[in-house]
Structure 1
Amino acid sequence: MSLQDEPAGTLQRSELAPVPPPAAPLPGARRLKRTDAIAEAVKDWIVLNALRPGDRLPQEKALMAQFKASKGTIREALKALETQGLIRSRTGPGGGAFVAEQSGEHAMALLANYFFFRQPSIRDIYALRKRLEPDLAASLAGQLGEDDFRRLEATMRLYDHPPATTGEEYQQRLAELEFHGILAELCPNPALGFICRFLQTLLANLTICRRIYDIPNPELRDAGLSYQIRLLRALKSGDAETASAVMHEHMCAAERYMESCEAEFRSGFLKL
């Protein structure tokens, strides 16, 4: 059975290139297991044909013929792709393997596992935020629409007033981070946006940061709002240089505050 006979979502099979054979390893590179090599070849095929979520992969028999592999080997390769969240399987009539919708949150959760036993410090995270988020802000100058600004302003309204409880204080601090998360989501450079959002997620999940976010600090909230108002003004006017400068100033001020609180916790002035 030819791969050309297998349906793939709404695409016509005649439009699809065949699944390539597994790539030969580079000299000195670790040789992949057979199942891993097949999984990589299928991933290459998805990219080569610009498949979208919901498009169907070639059926099992076609993959067995293409790779001259057993049913068990093909199923193990597909299972690896499913574990990575790249495909989903469906049984019954019309079933098979389909390209899955990719979730940024899922990808960040998987990546965060790498740092589970080697958590970065506040300084580590801000060393990158100070470099990357000014570039992110500059890339958005003059690029956002009215709906984007309404979304950012609605987020700011969550923390433009004193909190009534400690719980609200914490939620306001998360909302401040979400403001930056929205900017990351809107970034025209998806790689830059993803990295900035991931750094924000790491920061929010640090144990020391959760303790810091519980500390009432109206001056910090007012300062953050001031930076964000200036930033929105620069973004609306298309002033990339000012947007970058405001964001860098904001990141430096936030780093100083977070590190001073961390030092007080470590010295015992604040209770962990």
Structure 2
Amino acid sequence: MTKSAKTIGSKVLRPRQQVEEQIKAAIFSGALRSGDRLPSEAELARQFAVSRTTVREALRSLTTQNLIVKTPGAGGGSFVRSADPSTLRSAVGDSVHTLLALGSIAFEEVALVRQHLEVPSVRLAATHRTDDDLTELREILDLQKSISVDDESVPALDERFHGTIARASGNRVLASFVSALHIETEPVHYLDLSPEVGRTTVRQHQQIVRAIDEQDPDAAEAAMVEHLTYVREHLVAYHRGDRDGGATG
């Protein structure tokens, strides 16, 4: 029986890819940390023994991957991007925003995913919430009850409400996705609110906070599902041309 030949080779990378992979490896290994400034293009070209054009292409690719950020002007250069949950939220939000703007994905698709994520989010919040989380949620509710539906702060308060619940879940990845998708699917940006819808959604928010306060995941889920179903019904009515009502998220 003939022995199969041993595999001793691997794909040979282009110079640009080699530069990119080595810089990436330095970032992932911690040799380059968040906020560190990379050497100049000329110095990198010297270190890698490649042209400045090759270095520039590698840096452009790393920028697209959100691993580095380029700052113009005196004192500028290429810096390792700060990596934290807010970076993830921004990356997800920017990507979804672009795809929606291009028509590559539908608003309803994003809204449905966000709603599915809000259920485990509120269940975890009911389990892991802190006194500070409750204080912030009650403060938001007091503000929502004190303003009219045409107040310009309504969208920001609604975003803050759902964002606080997501952070209270204790899962930073889940919170990043919920926050990013909520910003892109906030019904307030699309609908005209009526006083009746405004009052109803505030009552629903109160029920959600009450369940979180009592650390009852089942009740929290039921309250959130009721709220999101109500919002979705108004959103569907809007897309059908019925603009008599609106909703907060």
Give secondary structure in 2 for the equivalent of 1:182: helix
Offset from partner CA, 1:43-64 (integer Å, 9 cap, x none): 3431232854323446657744
Matched, 1:258 2:230: no
* 2-structure distance, mates of 1:41, 1:220: 55
* 2-structure distance, mates of 1:233, 1:67: 60
Counterpart of 1:55 (choices 36, 53, 65) is 36
Offset from partner CA, 1:111-170 (integer Å, 9 cap, x none): 411221216555433422332110111122232223222222222233213517x4x1x5
Counterpart of 2:189 (choices 196, 206, 210) is 210
Q: Closer, same or farther in 2 for the Cα pair 1:123/1:113, shift >3 Å? A: closer
Matched, 1:184 2:166: yes
Matched, 1:141 2:123: no
Gaps of 5+ in 2: 1-9
**How do 1:1-272 residues align onto structure 2 when only pairs under 5 Å count?**
34-35=15-16, 38-49=19-30, 52-57=33-38, 63-64=44-45, 67-82=48-63, 85-89=66-70, 97-101=78-82, 103=87, 106-107=90-91, 108-118=93-103, 120-121=105-106, 123-163=108-148, 166=150, 168=151, 171-204=153-186, 210-212=189-191, 214-215=192-193, 217-265=194-242
* 1-structure distance, mates of 2:41, 2:68: 14
Gaps of 5+ in 1: 1-23, 26-30
Residue of structure 2 in register with 1:10 after alignment: none
Cα shift at 1:220: 1.9
* 2-structure distance, mates of 1:57, 1:142: 43
Q: Closer, same or farther in 2 for the Cα pair 1:200/1:68, shift >3 Å? A: same
Q: Closer, same or farther in 2 for the Cα pair 1:125/1:113, shift >3 Å? A: closer
Aligned-residue CA RMSD (Å): 3.6
Identity of aligned residues (%): 26
Paired residues of 1:39 and 1:78 also in contact (CA < 8 A): yes
- Could you tell which deviates more after superposition, 55-64 or 112-121? 55-64
Paired residues of 1:57 and 1:96 also in contact (CA < 8 A): yes
Cα shift at 1:256: 1.0
Q: Closer, same or farther in 2 for the Cα pair 1:260/1:58, shift >3 Å? A: same
Residue 35 of structure 2 aligns with an amino acid whose one-letter code is G
Give secondary structure in 2 for the equivalent of 1:163: coil
Per the normalisation by structure 1, the TM-score is: 0.67
Cα shift at 1:232: 1.9
Paired residues of 1:156 and 1:176 also in contact (CA < 8 A): no
Per the normalisation by structure 2, the TM-score is: 0.72
Paired residues of 1:159 and 1:175 also in contact (CA < 8 A): yes
Q: Closer, same or farther in 2 for the Cα pair 1:189/1:82, shift >3 Å? A: same
Cα shift at 1:255: 0.6
Give secondary structure in 2 for the equivalent of 1:101: coil
Offset from partner CA, 1:229-254 (integer Å, 9 cap, x none): 22222223332222222212211111
